[in-house]
Structure 1
Amino acid sequence: MGEIRNSNQDDDFHPAPQWLTVSYVENILRQYKKDENLNVNDLSIKPATAKGDNYASIMTRIKVDYLRSGAKVPETEFFIVKTTYENDPFISSIFASYQASTTEMVMYDKILPKLTVLLEDTDQSEKIFAKTLHVDYEHSAIIFEDLAVSQYIIGDRLTGFDLEYTKLTLRKLAKMHAAAAVLNERQPGFLTKLDHGIFNRHSRGFSPMFESYMEMAAQFAGECPELGNVYEEKLKRLQKLIMEYTERVYDPQPGDFNTLTHGDLWVNNIMLRPKTEHNPLDMLLIDFQFSAWASPAVDLHYFFSTSLQPEVRITQQDALIQYYHGILVDTLRALDFAGYIPTLRQLWLQLEKGKFMAVAVSLTSQAIMLNDQNADADFNALMLDDERSRNFKKTTYNNKKLREILKHWLPIYNQCGLLDVQD
């Protein structure tokens, strides 16, 4: 039996799970490699999530040295073990109400591999997701390839994506959306049961965060000379309606094109591989805790409103929707999809119908994602209504970049009637 070595076991990092042993990894590798006599010689464990980095999960890096049966030369592979962080009952109960951990395990175990296989048989084939090694429902854990070994990195959330990165993301997203529509056509009901997105009809656990950020947006508008009291009053009226109006975007409409959305598509949930002499530019989608069957408007408005460089969003959004649509249609046809394929105009109308998603995300999530002041940046600061929490939210709304973006987009939303109370 091989040995186990631990590193980075200090107070700043979450400790690795106790059940992550040599025998545990050996059994999983034997199944994955289809080799009952495979032996793990060495297991190196390195916690990858510092305390405060992530409130929903813990990442652990493992390096495995193993010997296949009959082989004389050992092999080495690197994996990530993702486990839920349930140390705080308050956080745990909210995420449980969204079925976040269960959704992601089902995605990596049952769905993403099937989407990959579907695409492999077409001329649209390319890698979109990390490869799943094992999903452990007992320990609520997912083991997948360590993308850092292949030089994948997370982009800069404070800068946002340029046009090239944006188009690459939309290409992969369109292929995921197309493959999911086809999978659900071939296995009816398989994906439609996933209905616990960030906005859904089962839980409003996040409503304190979204409603309090709408209040911050109203205060900002009232203090901003370019906006003023009219905007402040409109945003105050929307404060208690933000959950309902955004949930409507998620409600699958008969006659529309619906698919499995990523549900939380922004810079930090996209792994980038910069272009080098030996490798082309690439990206992969990660983190599927909030995937849900819905309109593609969910992913497109969320991504556009959180992750693009301001100039790209302002000048290129129409062209980017056309680009996404072209890839979507080509992939649906390559997969012999027999269902409804929207024309570009029909997709535009669907996105227009779901445009409140852009309002909600621009005024709330974007403030959190552009925050560059990390003191007090934790889940409790987002969810509670105490002095510390209110101060943190004020700090995020003092962000100059956020203010400039909102000064541009709020008048556009207002002209579209998106800031008015609807029936």
Structure 2
Amino acid sequence: MVNAGSESHGEDASNTPEWINEEFFKRILDKDESDNVKINKLLLSSGSSKIDNYASVLYRAKIKYALCSQPNQEKIRSFVMKTEHFEEGLQKDKLGEMAIFETEVRMYTIVLPMIKAKLREFGDQTVLAPKIFHSSLEMPRNIVFEDLVTEGYSIISERPGSLEEIKLALKKLAKIHAISYQMAQMGNKDITTFNKTYVNTLNLDDFVVLRDGVKLMKKVISDQPDLQKYLPHFESVEKFLFPKVLDLLNAAKNGKRSGVQVLNHGDFHMKNLMVKYVDNELKELMLLDYQTCIFGSPAIDLHYAFVMMYSPSMRLEKMDELLYYYTKNFQDTLHTVQYKGHIPTITEIREEVRDYRHWGLYLIFTLLCFNYAFMDGIDLSKIVESEAARLALFANTKILDELRLLLPRLLYLGYFEE
């Protein structure tokens, strides 16, 4: 329910809880305007489609209001609000075990402002995240952001990202990684205590999509005569892959902090980007959803980008170029902020990627189909909750064609070796 002067549109908005109302947004506007406001109309709509979001519920709030000191001058503002799931079901019952909102609020209110301040100190005006207007970790937990759509941003929908878009995303990621690397070297505990992501926190018996990637891939290649030669490698890797993945994700938490250590985004995929074009030129890109950040090797995000952000042609033809591009921006950022410690080399970053190859293999088995689902506009919840839907997606000849090129490469690079 919402107030009498309010309207709700869309499936999520029609089930809006009572506390999301005019009074809620009035408090936000009163604070932001430094004046009391009178809301004339509140229009709520769903903030995302089913292919864009799974871990939370998003609303878009368009508000017509006036300052009490200027009652005849109507203003219009738009916000995006993120709340935890409030209807019974898998998403509410099981995702509640994750510290999603705690992590994101810490990122937006503590960590990202610190990283931004360090960049600004040296003249770097990079925008790392949308502006936050309100957050609450009291039940029901929620965060309210600026509405990027009103600023000309849009999601990348039903197409692969362009090379220019991916490079800009990697450039921003490299800056976050670099400053967090510097802060961690200086003993900043705000950076090093993030340790939860989906794979090392959830009970995977409740999320078989994260558990049964090898099993699913075996079914897929068993039906392809020319790919059946890889079955022995799948059967071998199935015995040790997931324990290896947990060791890698928990390495920093367990005190194994050798190599390069940074604060990872943790869910670095295409649907967590928004882009802004002006006259058909890319002007800006925004990273979203800092919900599963985790301290550890930068290879956590780099392998994730390979599977969930790169297009098929980039995975096959641009991996070295994009890894070098990321590393160069990582190094340049540390030089810019006059970091005096050791700056990782491209060789060291490549070693991180190699050492985390089992994480990369796990992601290919588990999430590659999601990359194609994003490009094809398929309902994300169906892919998460239905093995039949995932198998049907793998029947896509484009995925099979990529596997025919990708699997031998993984074999030659030692991804199947323990």
Shorter-normalised TM range? 0.7 to 0.9
Partner of 1:141: 142
For 2:192 and 2:209, the matched residues in 1 are separated by 27
Matched, 1:259 2:286: no
Shift of the alpha carbon at 1:45?
Answer: 2.0
Partner of 2:236: 237
For 1:392 and 1:202, the matched residues in 2 are separated by 22
Partner of 1:386: none
**Counterpart amino acid of residue 264 in structure 1:** D
> 1:372-411 alignment to 2 at 5 Å?
372=376, 374=378, 378=381, 382-383=384-385, 389-411=386-408
Shift of the alpha carbon at 1:69?
Answer: 6.2
Deviation by residue 1:239-277 (Cα, 9 ceiling, x = unmatched) = 353332222332234232211111111111111112427
For 1:22 and 1:406, the matched residues in 2 are separated by 51
**Counterpart amino acid of residue 150 in structure 2:** V
**Counterpart amino acid of residue 312 in structure 1:** M
Q: CA RMSD in A?
A: 2.7
Instruction: Give identity over the alignment, percent.
Output: 23
DSSP-derived class of the 2:112 partner: helix
For 1:69 and 1:117, the matched residues in 2 are separated by 35
Deviation by residue 1:333-355 (Cα, 9 ceiling, x = unmatched) = 22233444201111111111112
Question: Which sections of structure 1, spanning at least 5 residues, go unmatched?
Answer: 384-388
Shift of the alpha carbon at 1:291?
Answer: 1.0
For 1:169 and 1:268, the matched residues in 2 are separated by 12
Matched, 1:315 2:314: no
Question: Using a 3 Å threshold, how does the CA distance of structure 1 residues 294 and 79 change in structure 2: closer, same or farther?
Answer: same
User: In 2, are the aligned partners of 1:13 and 1:51 still within 8 Å (CA)?
Assistant: no
Shift of the alpha carbon at 1:159?
Answer: 3.4
Taking structure 2 as the reference length, what is the TM-score of the superposition? Answer: 0.88
1:268 to 246, 266, 271: 271
> 1:341-360 alignment to 2 at 5 Å?
341-360=343-362
Deviation by residue 1:368-390 (Cα, 9 ceiling, x = unmatched) = 33134847x526x635xxxxx34
Shift of the alpha carbon at 1:238?
Answer: 2.8
1:281 to 280, 283, 307: 283
User: In 2, are the aligned partners of 1:356 and 1:418 still within 8 Å (CA)?
Assistant: yes
Question: Using a 3 Å threshold, how does the CA distance of structure 1 residues 373 and 46 change in structure 2: closer, same or farther?
Answer: closer
User: In 1, are the aligned partners of 2:275 and 2:282 still within 8 Å (CA)?
Assistant: no
User: In 2, are the aligned partners of 1:115 and 1:179 still within 8 Å (CA)?
Assistant: yes
Question: Using a 3 Å threshold, how does the CA distance of structure 1 residues 52 and 369 change in structure 2: closer, same or farther?
Answer: closer
Question: Which sections of structure 2, spanning at least 5 residues, go unmatched?
Answer: none
For 2:223 and 2:321, the matched residues in 1 are separated by 34
Partner of 2:327: 325
Question: Using a 3 Å threshold, how does the CA distance of structure 1 residues 53 and 188 change in structure 2: closer, same or farther?
Answer: closer
Taking structure 1 as the reference length, what is the TM-score of the superposition? Answer: 0.87
DSSP-derived class of the 1:97 partner: coil
For 2:95 and 2:331, the matched residues in 1 are separated by 35
Question: Using a 3 Å threshold, how does the CA distance of structure 1 residues 218 and 153 change in structure 2: closer, same or farther?
Answer: same
User: In 1, are the aligned partners of 2:174 and 2:327 still within 8 Å (CA)?
Assistant: yes
User: In 2, are the aligned partners of 1:5 and 1:44 still within 8 Å (CA)?
Assistant: yes
For 2:367 and 2:213, the matched residues in 1 are separated by 9
> 1:52-201 alignment to 2 at 5 Å?
54-68=53-67, 70-71=69-70, 73-138=73-138, 139-156=140-157, 159-185=159-185, 188-200=188-200
DSSP-derived class of the 2:116 partner: helix
User: In 1, are the aligned partners of 2:410 and 2:416 still within 8 Å (CA)?
Assistant: yes
